Amino acid sequence: MQAQLIALDWGTTSLRAYRLGEHGRVLEHRSLSAGIMQLPSEPRPIAGQLCSDGFELAFDEACGDWLDAEPHLAVIACGMVGSAQGWREAVYQETPASVGALSDALVTVRSVRGVDVHIVPGVLQRSALPNVMRGEETQVLGILNSLPAADARQSLLIGLPGSHSKWVRAVDGCIVHFDTFMTGEVYAALSAHTILGRTMQRSEAFDVAAFDRGVAVSLSPEGAAGPLSTIFSTRTLGLTGALDGASQPDYLSGLLIGHEIVALTHLLKHTETPLPSVILIGSGALLERYQRALDANGFPHVTFAEQATERGLWQVAVQAGLTTSLSTAAPRPFHVEN
């Protein structure tokens, strides 16, 4: 199948490149450890000239051969590549944010190959405590625009678990509000740089009972003291013999994710009654953890959605007229957990 677009998901630590065909179908994809904070530095020839710019080197490594074969392809990118530390800053667009608004605000940087790279801006939510996202907005809009029209018009809650988990409320296909929880980064810091990590023993197996115990504590009367208090129980339960070292990492994970979902529930009760169904974006074991915590907090239905970034980049590119195909990505079924 002939390619229609090159799409880049360019974050802090990684660069994912997709060669997309008709309807946004993924023809080929690559992952490089060439995020904006760890760009290549060894100079090499690109397009007949010696180049030492890290962004140019990473771009060429990711998709230079694709462009050699098909130089007419448009290129679109999202993520931290558009930050102030990126290749070219794409100023945040304010909520409410839609595919149309982002496609109208693309920022272009011309590579040494003579190819324009179109960068999707992030989204800013102004409030007493402002919130921002870069990359996640593309994933969310990709999923929203792949839903049946009737579903997309409803009020939806979309979760993006990770180092900085995002919880996005969308109405009529637009991002209207989102909250950020630094759960993953806090877990990593506590495990590696505090006394809690001294008694932890790493295991490849997921200790479901320990995780559920942590979630249960976040929901208990003791949990009302908040995570700054309850996280110390990771150590004290170990010292008293109630929790062995191999169980402590998953217990701490359950505590932190549990507190995240409890806080989210409190936020939603101001605007959503009853609690809404949730679409989780991503893949892998982390989604199972979030699904268990959501179930424990009474969320009625959880749906898993994959390939969100590719869908979103395709949708923005079509809206911006970067691809000759007028077809948008056909909706694909989500995996549903009851």
Q: Enter the DSSP assignment of 223.
A: G
Q: How far is CA 187 from the centre of its chain?
A: 17
The neighbour count for residue 107, using CB atoms within 10 Å, is: 17
How high is the pLDDT of residue 282?
85
| Run of H or E residues at 36 | none
Q: How far apart are CA 38 and CA 282, in angstroms?
A: 23
Structure tokens at 235: 């150590």
- CA 180/CA 66 separation, integer angstroms: 36
Q: How far apart are CA 52 and CA 125, in angstroms?
A: 36
Tell me which amino acid residue 211 is.
F
pLDDT at 269: 84
Q: Mind listing the domains of the chain with CATH numbers? A: 5-131 (3.30.420.300), 183-304 (3.30.420.310)
pTM, two decimal places? 0.91
Profile the chain (338 residues) by mean pLDDT over runs of 10 residues: 94 97 95 97 94 97 97 96 98 96 97 97 96 97 84 83 95 93 97 96 94 98 97 97 96 98 92 85 91 96 92 96 63 44
* Of residues 113, 93, 4, 7, the one with CA closest to residue 51: 113
- Per-residue pLDDT, 337: 44
Nearest CA among 9, 322, 313 for reference residue 140: 313
Q: How far is CA 71 from CA 3, 108, 159, in A?
A: 11, 17, 37
Contact status, residue 280 vs residue 305, Cβ threshold 8 Å = yes
- pLDDT number for residue 200: 96
